[in-house]
Amino acid sequence: MTFTGIESLTLPLAVLALLLMVFLADLLVPAPSDGRQSDAQRGLGALTCVGLVGVILLSWWMPQGGLAFGGAYVQDAFATYLQRVLLAAAALGALGSIDHVDRNFPSRQGEYYLMLLFSLLGMVVLAGARELVLIIVAFELMGIPLYVLAAMQKRAAGGVEGSLKLYLTGAVSSAVTLYGMSFIYGVTGTTNLTAIAARLSLGDDQGPLLVLGLLLSLAGMGFKIGVVPFHMWVPDTYQGSPTPFVAFLSVAPKAAGFGVLVRLFVEGLGAMRDTWWPIVLVLCVATMVVGNLFALSQRNVKRLLAWSGVAHIGLMLLAFGIATVQGIGVLIFYLTAYVFTNMGAFFIVDVVGQDGSDDLDAWQGLARRSPALGGAMLIFLLSLGGIPFVAGFWAKFLLFWAAWQAGMGLLVLLGALLAVLALFYYLKVARSMFIEGTDGPAPRVALPTALAITIALLGVIGIGVYPQPFVDAALAAAAGLLGG
Amino acid sequence: MTSTTSSADASPPPIFPLHADHLVLNLALIALLLPLACFVLLALVWPLRRAGRLAGWLSATVAVISFGASARLLMLVVGGEAPLTETVGWLVRDGKVIASMGVHIDGISASMLAVVTLVAACVQVYSLGYMAEDSLPAQGRYFTYHSLFITAMGGLVLAPNLLQLFAGWELVGLCSYLLIGFYWAKPSAGQAAVKAFWVTKFADMGLIVGLLALYGATGTFAWDAHLVGIWATAVPALLFMGVMGKSAQVPLHIWLPDAMEGPTPVSALLHAATMVAAGVYLIVRAYPLFELAPSLLLAMTWIGASTALIAAATAIVQDDIKKVLAYSTCSQLGYMIAALGSGQIMGGYFHLTTHAFFKSLLFLGAGAAIHAVHSNDIHDMGGLWKTTRISALLFITGSLALVGVPIFAGFFSKDLILEEMLEAGQYVPVAMLVLGAGLTAFYMTRVIVIAYFGDAAEGAEHAHEAPWTMLLPMGALGLLAVGAGFGGDLLATLWGQQYHFGMTPIGITTSVIGLGGIALGIMRYGTSTWTADLLGGLRGFILSGPVDRFWDSAWRQGLLPFAQVVGWFDRYIVDGLINMVAWLFIFLADRIKRFQTGRAQDYVFAVVLGVVAFIAYGMVGA
C-alpha cells in the first residue's frame, strides 16, 4: 500500500499528533503524590481542548475531496462536516471534563484524555471510512477506549457495572457486525463500498446471503447508536459513568455510528433500500416509543436523559431512513443541534450532581438558587423538546418537513404525538427547578464547566435564531455524498 | 383580505430594511423589540432583576412606550397607510424561502397589537401595586417573564406567516407555564402549570402537523395559500385543533380554570385578554384557509356555541371568583369561535377586542378584591361595596360590559355576533348563545351580590382600597369597557367593511334576557337590606304567589341541576378522561420498566433476540 494522498489524512493525523502530545505531556508532568490535585495535571485537559479547537480550525484549511489508502478513506464534504461535529463534541467534552476529572480521579487525568482522543481518532476515521475492514478497525478503535472511560469511577457504585454491560453487549454486536460484513464481502467479492455500490447497480445478486449480511451489520451498528432492542446498556452505562464523559458518549459515538450507517447503507447498499427500509422503520418506531415511555417514569435525571436520548435516536433513524439528500442533511443537522443541546444538559447534570445525587429532588429550586443554571437548563430542555428559537426546534421541524416531503405523514403524526409526551418528562425537570423546592445555596460551578455550558448555550441559541449556515452546510454535505 | 404576503417570494429576501424614514415599520419594531431588549436586560443583569421594584418600573415603562408606539401605528394605519410586509429569510434553501420572519402590518395586526400592548401596559402598572408584597427577586422574575411575553405575543400578532405565528404561539405558552407556576410554594400551582402546558401542547400537535401539511401541499406557510382536495379541509381542521387548546374550547378547556393558580394580573393578561385569544386571532388571520372548509366552519359554530353554554353554566356553581371569571372567559371565547364558524369574522374579532378590555378589567377588579381580603372565595368577601367603592364600581362596570347591557362594550360586539349569525340562519347555536348570555348575567350578578353587597365576612369589614397603581389602569380599562363598543366603526374602517349599529330584535331580546338574568341573580342571592330597598316593590310583587313559585321551581328544577350536572361532568368526566390518558401512559411506563432488569445477560439476550428477529425477517420477508 502506497501512501498517496497523505494530505487527505490531515484530520486523522492531526488528532493522532495531538494524542501523542498529550501522551508525552502526561509522561513529563509529574504525577502528584497521594492522589492530590495539581495544576500541571489539570493542564492536560486544557491542552486537549485547545488542541482540538486547533484541529477544527485546520479542517477549513486542509485539502478536500481526496482519497487515501486506495480509496478506503475519503475526505469528502460529508466526512468533513461529521468530523467537525465530532471534534467539537470532543473539545466541548474535554472542556467540561476538566473540573470533574480533577475532583474525582486527579492522578489519572492523562489516562482520561488519552482514551478520549483514541476514541475520537476512531470516530474521525470512521467518518471517512469507505471500506469494510477499515470500518471494523475504526469501530473497535472508537469502542474500546469507551469501555475504559465508562469504568473510570472504579469505586463508584455502578461504575464498573455500567462499563461491563457496555462491553458485553458491545462485544456481541461487534461480532455480529463482522459476521454480517463477511457475508457482504463473500457475495460481492469486494470490501470497498464504492465497488459494492457499483456491483449492486448492475441489478443482479441481491440474494439472501447479501440480505443476511446487510441485516446483521445493521443489528451490530444498532448497538453503537443505541437502537431498540440493542439499547439496554444505555441507561445503566450513563448512570455509572463520569457525567462529562456521558455528555461525550451520548453524542459523539452516535454521530460516528450514523456516519457509518449512511456510508454503508446509503452510499454502499443504497440500491437495497427497499430491503432495509422496513426494518429501519420498525426499529425507528420501536426506538421512539420505547425511549419516550421509559423516560416518563424516571426520577434519576441521568437515566431520564439517557432514555430521552434513545427517543432522539429514533427520530434520527427516521431521518436516516428517508435516505434522500434532505433526509441525510437533516440527520447531520439534527446531530449538530443534538451535540450542543445534550452536552450542555449533561454538564449541568454534572454540576448539580457533584454532591452525589442525580435524583430529581436534587434539582428542586435550582432556578432560584442559581437563575443562570436554571435558565440554561430550561433552554436545553426546550431544545430537546423542540420549542422555537432554540436549536432543537429546527432539528425537529426540518426532520418532520423532510419526512412529510418523503410521504411519511403517519410517522410525522407519531413523532409529533411522542414529542408532546416527551415534553411531559422534560417539564418534570423544569418543574423541579422552577416551581418546587426551597431557596438555598447555589451549586459550585468551576470556570471550565461554566465555559463549556456557555458555549453549548450559545450554540443552542445561535442555531435556534440563525439556523441558515448550519442547514446549508449540512445539506451541502449530504448533496456531496448523494450527488444531488 | 388585502394582505400582501411576500413570504413565498422566489428571490432571496433583503436584510431587514431599517429605513430611517419608514415610520410604520419603525413603530412596529419599537413595539416589538423594546420589550425584548427589556427582557434580555433583566435576564442577564441579575442585580437589576433582583432589585425587583426597579425592574418592575423599567418593565412597565417599556410596556407603556410599546403601547404608545402601537397606538401611533394604529393611527397611521387608520389614516390610510397601505398594508406592509417586511420579511427576512430565516431559512433559505436554493433560493427558496422555507421559513421567514418579519412583520406584517395591516388593520387587523395593528389593532390587535394595540389591544395587546394596551392591556399589557395596564396590567404591568397594576402589577407594580399588586405584587408589592412579594419578595424583590420574585418581582424581578415576574417582570422578566412579562417582558418576554409582550415580545412573544407581539411577534405572534405581527407574524407575516403561520410559522412565525407558531413560534410566538409556543413562546407565549412557555411564558404562561412559567407564570402559572409563579407561586412555587403551592404544589397546586406546579400541577396547574404542567397541566396547562401539556393540554395546550397536545392540541399544538395538530397545529404542527397542520403547518407541515400546509407546507407540503403549497410550499409556503402563507395563510392565504391555495389549498385543494382533501388538504382544503384537513389543514384548517388540524390548525383548529391547536386553536381549541389555546383558546380553551370544550373539551380542551380544562386547563384554563386551573391556570388561575397564577397571580391574578397574569390571569388578566394571559388567560383572559391576549394569549387565550391567540387562537381566535389565528382563525381571523388564516381565514382564507378556513373559508375553504365549510364542514369545519359548521363544527366550529357548534363547538363554540357549546363551549359558550357549558362554560357559562359551570361558572354558576363556582365559589372562587377567579374560577367564575375563567369559565366566563371560556364561554366568551366560545362566542368568538361560534361567530367565526358562521363566517362572521368581523363580529368575532370585535368581540375579541371588547372582551380583552372588560375581562382584563374584571380580573384586575377581582385582584383588587383578593388583595383586600386575601381570599379567592366570594363568600369571604362581602360588603366590599362599602369599603372599596372605586374598585367595586369598576368591577360592576366590567360586569355590565360582559353581560352586554346596552351602551356597554360587550353589548355591541355580542349583538353584532348574534345578529350576523341569525342572518346566516344558525338558529340553534344562536339560541344557545342567547341562553348563555342569560346565564352570564346570572353568574356575574351572583358574584357581585355576594362579594360586594353581601354581609361582610369576617376580615372583610376592614378591607382597604387598592393603591393608585392598581386603580389607575383599572380606570383606563373601565373607560374602554364602556366606550370600546363605539369603536365598531373604526374597526369596520380597518376591515374595509360597513358597520351600522341599530337596535335589532335579537339585540333587544338578548338585553331583556340579560336583565332577566340580573334580576334572577339579585332575587336569588340578594339578602341584604340594600337589595330589599332597591327592589322593594318589585321584589314584593315578584316574590308573591305564582311568580315566585315559577322562579323558584325554574331555579331548583332547571338551572341549578343543569349547572351542577355540567360542572360535575366537566370536573370528573372531561378532566378525568384526560387524567386517565396521562395515568395510562405512566402506568404503561411503570409496567415496561421490568424489562430493564439490570442484568447484563438479559441485555445480551435482547441483542441476540433482535438479531434472530432480523434473520427471521431476512429469510421470510425478503
**What are the pLDDT digits (tens) for B477-531?**
999 888 887 777 777 777 767 666 666 777 788 888 888 888 777 777 765 555 5
Radius of gyration for chain A, computed over Cα atoms and rounded to the nearest angstrom: 21
pLDDT of residue B14: 44
Query: Between B593, B596, B614, which is nearest A216 by CB?
Result: B614
Instruction: Point out the least confidently predicted range of A35-49, A263-277, B162-176.
Output: A35-49
Q: Are B27 and B76 in contact (CB under 8 A)?
A: yes
Q: Which residue of B has its CA nearest to A228?
A: B610
* pLDDT(B543) > 60: no
Domain boundaries, chain A: 6-482
Assigned domain for B602 exists: yes
Residues in B touching A387 (Cβ below 8 Å): 170-171, 174
- Give me the pLDDT at residue B11, please: 42
Range from A152-161, B280-289, B309-318 carrying the lowest mean pLDDT: A152-161
Q: What is the mean pLDDT of residues A107-114?
A: 89
Instruction: Kindly state whether B177 is in contact with chain A, defined as any CB-CB distance less than 8 angstroms.
Output: yes
Nearest-CA neighbor of A301 among A261, A255, A348, A264? A348
Residue in A with minimal Cα distance to B195:
A424
Q: Do A404 and B212 touch (CB under 8 A)?
A: yes
Minimal CA separation from A484 to chain B, in Å: 12
Residue with cell 384526560: B578
Is the CB of A172 less than 8 angstroms away from the CB of B598?
no
Residue A95 CA to residue A98 CA, distance in Å, equals 6
SS3 B8: coil
* Contact between A215 and B43 using a beta-carbon 8 Å cutoff: no
Which helix (H) or strand (E) segment is B93 a member of? strand B84-93
Q: Which of A435, A436, A466 to mutate to test the interface with B (most CBs of B within 10 A)?
A: A435
Closest residue to A223, CB basis, from B607, B617, B622: B607
Is residue A83 a contact partner of residue A11, using CB atoms and an 8 Å limit? yes
Q: Which residue did the predictor score with more confidence, B233 or A159?
A: B233
Domains of chain B: total? 1
Question: Considering the domain boundaries, does residue B584 fall inside one?
Answer: yes
How many C-alpha atoms does B351 have within 13 Å on its Cβ side? 29
B508 part of contact set with chain A, CB < 8 Å: no
Task: Answer whether residue B2 shows pLDDT above 80.
Answer: no
Residues of chain B neighbouring A365 (CB-CB closer than 8 A) = 184
For the cut 60, the answer to whether the pLDDT of residue B437 exceeds it is yes
Residues of A with Cβ-Cβ distance to B593 under 8 angstroms: 294, 297
Q: Does A274 touch chain B (CB under 8 A)?
A: no
Q: Which residue of B has its CA nearest to A206?
A: B622
Asked if the structure places residue B85 within a domain, the reply is no
- How far is A467 from B6, CA to CA, in rounded Å? 21
Tell me the per-residue pLDDT of B40-60, one tens digit each, with 9 for 90 and over. Answer: 998 888 888 888 889 999 999
More confident residue, B35 or A29: B35
Q: Is the model's pLDDT at A468 over the cut of 50? A: yes
Does B582 sit within 8 Å of A424, measured CB to CB?
Answer: yes
In this prediction, residue B4 carries a pLDDT of 39
B-interface mutation test, from A218, A232, A438, most B Cβ less than 10 A away? A232
Whether A461 has a pLDDT exceeding 70, the answer reads: yes
Nearest CA in chain A to B599: A165
Task: Give percent of chain B above pLDDT 90.
Answer: 23
With CB atoms and an 8 Å threshold, state whether A400 touches B212: yes
Q: Are A457 and A387 in contact (CB under 8 A)?
A: no
Helix axes B23-44, B53-78, angle to 10 degrees: 170
Q: Which domain holds residue B586?
A: 563-622
Q: Which residues in chain B are closer than 8 Å to A472, comparing Cβ atoms?
A: 93
Amino acid residing at A104: N
Q: Each residue of A227-256: pLDDT tens digit?
A: 888 888 888 889 888 999 999 999 999 999
pLDDT digits over A118-151, tens only?
Answer: 999 999 999 999 999 999 999 999 999 999 999 8
C-alpha cell at A328: 441525510
Dist. CA B420–CA A430, nearest whole Å = 46
Q: A residues 204-223 near B, CB within 8 Å?
A: 208, 211-212, 214-216, 218-219, 222-223
Question: How far is B21 from B9, CA to CA, in rounded Å?
Answer: 25
List, in sequence order, the alpha helices (H) in B247-293.
255-258, 264-268, 278-285, 287-290
Phi, psi at A387, each rounded to 5°: -95, 145
Show the cell assigned to B536.
322593594
Q: Considering only CB atoms, which chain A residues are within 8 Å of B49? A: 371
> Which of A178, A212, A215 is the best residue to mutate to test the B interface, defined by the most B CB atoms within 10 Å of its own CB?
A215
Q: Following CA atoms B353, B358, B359, B364 in sequence, which dihedral angle do they give, to the nearest 10 degrees?
A: 130
Task: Enter the C-alpha cell of residue A167.
Answer: 462491553
Q: What Rg value do the Cα atoms of chain B yield, rounded? A: 26
Chain A from 296 to 325: CB within 8 A of any B CB: 296-297
Which residues 581-620 of chain B have a CB within 8 Å of chain A?
Answer: 582, 585-586, 588-590, 592-593, 596, 598, 600, 602-604, 606-611, 614-615, 617-619
Let me know if residue B567 belongs to a domain: yes
Looking at A34-43, A336-345, A420-429, B218-227, which range is the least confident one? A34-43
CB-based contact, B555 to chain A, within 8 Å: no
- Give A191-215 pLDDT, tens digit per residue: 999 888 888 887 665 678 888 888 8
B44 and A CB contact within 8 Å: no
Distance between CA B162 and CA B140 in Å, rounded? 32
Lowest-pLDDT choice from A282-286, A445-449, B340-344, B498-502: B498-502
What is the average pLDDT score of chain B? 82
Residue type, B520: L
Q: How far apart are CA A75 and CA A5, in angstroms?
A: 10
Q: Say if B587 falls within a structural domain.
A: yes
- DSSP strand pairing (A73-74 vs B84-93): unpaired
Q: Is the pLDDT score of A167 beyond 70?
A: yes
Query: Considering only residues 113 to 152 of chain B, which have any Cβ-Cβ distance to chain A shorter than 8 Å?
Result: 137, 141
Q: What is the pLDDT of residue B500?
A: 64
pLDDT in tens, B95-109: 777 788 888 988 889
- Nearest 5°: phi and psi at B609? -60, -45
Give the gap in angstroms from C-alpha B194 to the nearest C-alpha of chain A: 7
CA distance B511 to chain A (A): 44
The pLDDT, as a whole number, for residue B8 is 41
Chain A residues lying within 8 Å of B201, measured CB to CB? 420, 423
Confidence of residue A459 (pLDDT cuts 50, 70, 90): very high
**B599 belongs to a structural domain:** yes
ipTM: 0.80
Question: Would you call A229 an interface residue with chain B, using a CB distance cutoff of 8 Å?
Answer: yes
The nearest alpha carbon in chain B to A418 belongs to B205
Judge residue B133's burial from the number of C-beta atoms within 10 Å of its C-beta, 0-12 exposed, 13-18 middle, 19 or more buried: exposed
Average pLDDT over residues A180-191: 89
Residue of B nearest to A374 (CA): B43
Mean pLDDT of chain A: 88
State the best of B164, B218, B596 to mutate against chain A, taking most chain A CBs within 10 Å: B596
* Closest to A392 in 3D by CA, of A345, A429, A425: A345
- Contact between chains at A230 and B610 (C-beta distance less than 8 A): yes
A chain contacts of residue B208, beta-carbon cutoff 8 Å? 400, 416, 419
Backbone angles phi, psi at B241, to 5 degrees: -60, -45
Quick: pLDDT tens for B560-603: 777 677 777 766 776 777 677 777 777 777 776 666 666 777 77
By C-alpha distance, the chain B residue nearest A164 is B600
